[in-house]
Amino acid sequence: KYTVERTYHTRANQQTMMETFRTACYMDHFGRLIVLSSTQIPFHVRRIVGRALDIPASKVRVIKPRIGGGFGAKQTSVSEIYPAIVTWKTGRPSKMIFSRYESMICSSPRHEMEITVRAGADENGIIKAIDLYTLSNTGAYGEHSSTTVGLSGHKSIALYRHTEAYRFAFDVVYTNVQAAGAYRGYGATQGIFAVESAVNELAHKMGMDPVKVKEMNMPIEGGPLPGYPDVPYAQSCSMDRCMARAKEMMDWDSKYPCRDMGNGKVRGVGVAMAMQGSSIAGVDVGGADIKLNEDGSYTLALGCTDMGTGCDTVMAQIAADCLNTPMDNIVVFSVDTDISPYDSGSYASSTTYATGNAVIQACGELRKRIHAFGAQMLGVSAEESDFDGEKVRTEDGKEVTLQQIAGKATCGVCSELQVVKEYSSPISPPPFMAGAAEVEIDKETGQIDVIDYVGVIDCGTPINPNLARVQAEGGIGQGIGMVLYEDVQYTDKGKIRNNSFMQYKIPNRMDIPKVRIEFESSYEKTGPFGAKSIGELVIDTPCPAIANAVYNATGVRVRELPITPEKVAMGILEQEAGEKK
């Protein structure tokens, strides 16, 4: 029997989206307050602004234009209240654009967490028990405090299917620092770093390759997901193929654990696996409104927020496929709370999964209505005709085009060729990922360079592989920032020290290695065309994989992020001093 008990410490991280917080307000000619804002949660902003001004939400209209990133920071109402007050009181237009400094001090960074993991395995390397305790720092206020910490256990314990005994407990503390909030990964990132690092340490203690340990214990299709009540078993899962492919891409067997490069530098490899969720089961709502226009085009109004993720494109693809029409024939109308269907917001990896299902349902209903109306124009029943997306035809050759149907339906006949659907999932099927990193370390200075990173992902069946790939590359880049560079620091009075990009280091293009992404598709029967989520999952593997690679290269185990050159260099010196004794 083998056990480990270790404590890991992750620091607060800023989301550092490229577009800062910004809002503009004006009064319309009906005396209503119009709020244009860079936000992930337009419908929540409408409610919050209404309550702040003590006016009905019906007096507030929120419009979300194109926005440049959010990553959870814009899941909080930051910039909307103040210009709204000015415009409501004066009747004059107002705007508020945060500088980078203001965005850094007014944001809600990732929760700092200290996580203690006890894990036990039998003599064959089967993980039988995991005990997790998380202490989370929520800062001065409790926003997101209880929900975020839950994911540190919720998304990590389930990675080990043979676990017979598991326990998860947590405490959340108020401290005199900046209030923490939502950031991509939302607690799972911290929990997976701790659990995966502990299992990697357990593998070392057992003298086993960590890939082998994970292969024996990972989730498999149809297998259990301990501690994951959203779904009791993995109904779609290709984690085994993800790990096999990642091992192959990294050429793991020839590189593990490390190689001395002969020039004072050494290279090591590390591995990790991760899972997330697809929307919050029974909570998140996705909405879609599709209508046929008089020229035969379609307008798709969405309640979800595209913040650079490309969800407007994905939803247009889904609609075009369902309606059997060219994608150019779909006009996507982004969020306007007056005319968009209700949507709880773009967070919790919910957009493609939840809103995609709403789009499928809305388009399916609209297609039936168009078919029935076209058949009526031909004097036959729907069963006696066929609709291919362009024409309704009968067996004897009579036909009517989509444009003719649209013209007739909007001119005098008043047929309602418009459908609104909303979708909320009772379950949250997890996507899975295997990540492997290769790092090069200068043994004299402790300098760490990530040489190679491979990520193999099971996000169900990707609807748009190109958009999924750039999501993965971006998430891995942010994960590299978290593990090697980023650390929100405060003065004794809780004032943030590193309040610009001069002091707060995030990785630039030179710090990001060759990132190679592949997909090992599964088919999630509850998802749109078999898809699951990808947005948050992809930030979860770099921290444990790179920490494992650093250890394999140097023998220095760093359990407190970020892993800086100083920590590595000092660890190497301590090792050498110990050997001399």
CB 423 within 8 A of CB 528: no
The secondary structure of residue 490, as a DSSP letter, is: B
DSSP 180: P
Best CA proximity match to 423, nearest among 344, 355, 349, 322: 355
Query: Which of the 8 DSSP states describes residue 537?
Result: G
Q: Which of 257, 281, 37 is nearest to 150 (CA)?
A: 281
Confidence at residue 581, expressed as pLDDT on a 0 to 100 scale: 63
Nearest-angstrom CA–CA distance, 295 and 55: 40
d(CA 546, CA 569): 16
Measured at the CA of 455, the angle between CA 515 and CA 477, to 5 degrees, comes to 50
* Distance (Å) of CA 151 to CA 162, 195, 448, 534: 20, 12, 30, 16
pLDDT in tens, 99-108: 999 999 999 9
Sequence letter at residue 6: R
The residue among 346, 372, 187, 235 whose CA lies nearest residue 292 is 372
Give the angle subtended at the CA of 350 by the CAs of 39 and 561, to the nearest 5°: 80
CB-based contact 347:535 (threshold 8 Å): no
| DSSP per position, 106-169 | HS-PPPEEEEEEEEEE-TTS-EEEEEEEEEEEEETS-TTHHHHHHHHHHTTGGG-TT--EEEEE
Instruction: Write down the pLDDT at residue 320.
Output: 98
Q: What element of type H or E holds 517?
A: strand 514-519
241-271 burial, b at 16+ Cβ within 10 Å, e below that, comes to: bbbbbbbebbebeebbbbbeeeeebbbbbbb
Strand order in the sheet with 165-174: 2-10, 112-121, 127-139, 165-174
Length of the chain: 581
Q: State which H helix or E strand residue 252 sits in.
A: helix 252-255
Q: By the 8 A CB rule, do 193 and 114 touch?
A: no
Residue carrying the six token digits 């209404």 = 50
CA distance 498 to 223: 45
Q: Which pLDDT score is estimated for 431? A: 98
- Model pLDDT, residue 580: 72
What's residue 495's pLDDT? 92
Structure tokens of 506? 């995030």
Q: Residue 372 and residue 509: Cα distance in Å, rounded? A: 54
Strands 60-63 and 33-37 turn out to be parallel
Residue with tokens 């078999």: 530
Rounded distance, CA 575 to CA 553, Å?
A: 13
Phi-psi label, residue 54: left if phi above 0, alpha if psi -120 to 50, beta otherwise: left
Angle at 255 between CA 250 and CA 259, to 5 degrees: 140
pLDDT in tens, the chain (581 residues): 899 999 999 999 999 999 999 999 999 999 999 999 999 999 999 999 999 999 999 999 999 998 999 999 999 999 999 999 999 999 999 999 999 999 999 999 999 999 999 999 999 999 999 999 999 999 999 889 999 999 999 999 999 999 999 999 999 999 999 999 999 999 999 999 999 999 999 999 999 999 999 999 999 999 999 999 889 899 999 999 999 999 999 999 999 999 999 999 999 999 999 999 999 999 999 999 999 999 999 999 999 999 889 999 999 999 999 999 999 999 998 899 999 999 988 888 999 999 999 999 999 999 999 999 999 999 999 999 999 999 999 989 899 999 999 999 888 766 789 999 999 999 999 999 999 999 999 999 999 999 999 999 999 999 999 999 999 999 999 999 999 999 999 999 999 999 999 999 999 989 998 899 999 999 999 999 999 999 999 999 999 999 999 999 999 999 999 999 999 999 999 998 887 76
Tokens of 8: 């890991």
Instruction: Give one DSSP letter per residue of 262-324, joined into a string.
Output: SSSEEEEEEEEEEE--SS-TTT--EEEEEEE-TTS-EEEEE-S--SSS-HHHHHHHHHHHHHT
Residue 37 pairs with which residues in a beta bridge?
23
- Can the peptide bond before residue 257 be classed as cis, meaning omega within 30 degrees of 0? yes
Distance CA 540, CA 468 (A): 15
**Cβ–Cβ < 8 Å for 323, 283:** no
Between strands 448-458 and 514-519, the pairing is parallel
Classified as helix, coil or strand, 72 is coil
Task: Please provide the DSSP assignment of 322-381 as one string.
Answer: HHT--GGGEEEE--BTTTSPP---S-TT-IIIIIHHHHHHHHHHHHHHHHHHHHHHHTS-
If we measure between CA atoms, which residue out of 210, 236, 11 comes closest to residue 125? Answer: 210
